[in-house]
Structure 1
Amino acid sequence: MNRRDQALGSFIGLMRGSSKLEKIVKKDVACYQLNLTEFSVMELLFHKGKQTTQGIKEKILIASSSTTYVIDQLEKKSYVDRLVDSEDKRVTFVTLSQKGQKLMEEIFPTHAKTIETSFSGLNDNELEQLLKLLAKLNRTLDKQ
C-alpha cells in the first residue's frame, strides 16, 4: 500500500472512529439531560476552572454565538454562573455553580469509565502509542 492510500485509509479510520466515539459520548451525557456541547463546557470548567466565554469558544471549538447560547442554557439549568471581571467590566468569566460542580463530581467518574471502556481493544502500549501519534498529527495539522 502506498503512502497516499495509507493516508486515505487512516483518515477514513479516524473519521469512523470519531463518529462512533461521538455516538457513545452523546448517549452517555444524554443520561444527565445534557447535550455534548453543554457537557464539554462543564467538563472544561470542572477541570480548568473559570474561563472567559472566548476561552471556552477556543477550547471546545464552537462558534461564538453558539458558545453564548450553550452558556445561557447551562445558566438556566443552574449549572454555571457568570462573573463580571472587577477590573475590566467587558470581561465575563463563566464558572461551575455549586449545583454544576456537584453534578460533575457525581457523573465524571462514570463518564471517564465509559471513555476508558471504548478503548478496551487496545493494550496499554497501543493506547500510549495512539496518544503520541494523535498529538504528533495534531501538531502537524496546526502548522498547515
Structure 2
Amino acid sequence: MQKNDQSNVEDRKASLKLFVVLHRALQSIEKQVFRDIKSHGLNLTEFAVLELLFNKGDQPIQMIGKKVLLASSSITYVVDKLEEKGLLKRKACPKDRRVTYAVLTNDGKDLMKDVFPKHEQALTEILGGLSVIEKQRMIEQLKILGLHAEHYS
C-alpha cells in the first residue's frame, strides 16, 4: 500500500471514530442536561424558550423557532403552554400588527432567576471533565468542524 493510500485509510478510520465518539458524548451530555431541566418542572423546549427570553429579552414569536431550532408549529404550542403556566404572555407590536412578541411575566422572570444559575452550575459539573482551556480549544475545533460540515456538498 502506498503512503497516500495508507493516509486515506487512516483518515477514514479516524473520521468514523470521531463521529461515534462525538455522538456518544453528546448523547451522554444531553441525557444529563435533560434530567437537570426536568428537575425544574420544565421540558427542553419550554426551557429553551424561557432561556432565550430571559437572556435576550422580548422576542417576536415568529423568530423564536429559528433561534431555538424548533418548527413554527411547535413554538406556538410551547408558547401556549408557557402562557397557560403564567410564565410568559403575548404582546402585540405597536409598529406592526402582524408581529406578536413573547414576553416573560414576573413569574417567568422569577423562575428563571432561580433556575438559570442552577442550570449553569449543572452544566459546569456535567462538562467538568475538561479544564477551561480544554473547553475553549474544543469550542474552537468544533466551530471549525461545524462550519466545514455546513458547507460540505
For the criterion TM > 0.5, the same-fold answer is: yes
> Deviation digits for residues 46-103 of structure 1, max 9, x if unmatched?
1111111222100111111111101110111011111111111111111211111111
Query: Counterpart of 1:67?
Result: 75
Q: Which runs of 5+ in 1 are unaligned?
A: none
Query: Counterpart of 2:138?
Result: 130
Query: What percentage of residue pairs aligned between the two structures are identical?
Result: 38
CA distance in 1, matches of 2:37, 2:97: 34
Residue aligned with 1:65, SS: helix
Are 1:45 and 2:53 counterparts? yes
Runs of at least 4 residues of structure 1 off by over 3 A? Answer: none
Residue aligned with 1:2, SS: helix
Which entry has the higher C-alpha Rg, 1 or 2? 2
Residue aligned with 1:132, SS: helix
Query: Counterpart of 2:12?
Result: 4
Query: Counterpart of 1:88?
Result: 96
CA distance in 2, matches of 1:46, 1:135: 25
- Give the alignment's TM-score, normalised by structure 1: 0.93
Calculate the aligned-residue CA RMSD, in Å: 1.3
Q: Which runs of 5+ in 2 are unaligned?
A: 1-8
